[in-house]
Amino acid sequence: MRAMPVPILMYHNIAPVPRGLKRWRSLYVHPRSFARQMALLQRLGYAGLSMSAAMPYLRGERQGRVAVITLDDGYADNLDNALPILQRHGFSATCYAVSGALGRHNDWDDAKLGVRKPMMDAAQLRAWHAGGMEVGAHTRTHPRLSQCGDAQLRDEIAGNKDELEDLLGAPVTQFCYPYGDHDERVVDATREAGFAAATTVQRGRARPGGDLWRLPRVAVARSHMLPQFAWRAFTDYEDRHA
């Protein structure tokens, strides 16, 4: 029997769009929409899993209806708005944190977006983890990794892992490439740092037994109504547009 593809859902902000924001409104998913999406997963018999919990499915060792829930950057609204919804459904999720931005804001793109988004601080990230969720790594400062020299590359990837593990007192085994930017050198550095898998922004659903360091994801945007969400997550639509 052929293993089912695994949708790795990609979110950023779980919050209403700030007033006056004109650009990249798609990065926001309203909490009500997020709640409806999680309820649909459950109603259709899907388990919402963190990256680590999904690894047996991604390696092709287990089969079942699973969807992976990932949130990039570590915004405070993930804790405030996403965590209660995930817990209500018995789901887990992975939040990829930028360790150098804890308690600060999105200084890598605030000028472009025109908005400063509060990031979780150390206590909030611990609360996310204590709430049954996973913390993944998203570098120390959110650079384009393919443009980093070797020393900076190690600092951004392995240094990020060390900082988060010291903060949480727990292993951090999952990585996400900022902007999806990676090449062979970046992938090698990610493996060497001890990560078990890494996600990109390439479109598509993950194929069990495929490349664990170049995993595609299904981006969920503010404009996606529930039928569009289902179409992208459960059919080959994203696979065909990869």
Model-level pTM?
A: 0.97
Can you list the alpha helix ranges (DSSP code H) found in the chain?
31-43, 51-58, 76-77, 83-89, 110-113, 122-130, 150-168, 184-192, 226-234, 237-240
Tens place of pLDDT per residue across the chain (242 aa): 578 999 999 999 999 998 877 777 889 999 999 999 999 999 999 999 999 999 999 999 999 999 999 999 999 999 999 999 999 999 999 999 999 999 999 999 999 888 999 999 999 999 999 999 999 999 999 999 999 999 999 999 999 999 999 999 999 999 999 999 999 999 999 999 999 999 999 999 999 999 999 999 999 999 899 999 999 999 999 999 88
Range 8-135+200-240: architecture per CATH: Alpha-Beta Barrel (3.20)
Residues 29 and 14 sit within 8 Å (Cβ to Cβ): yes
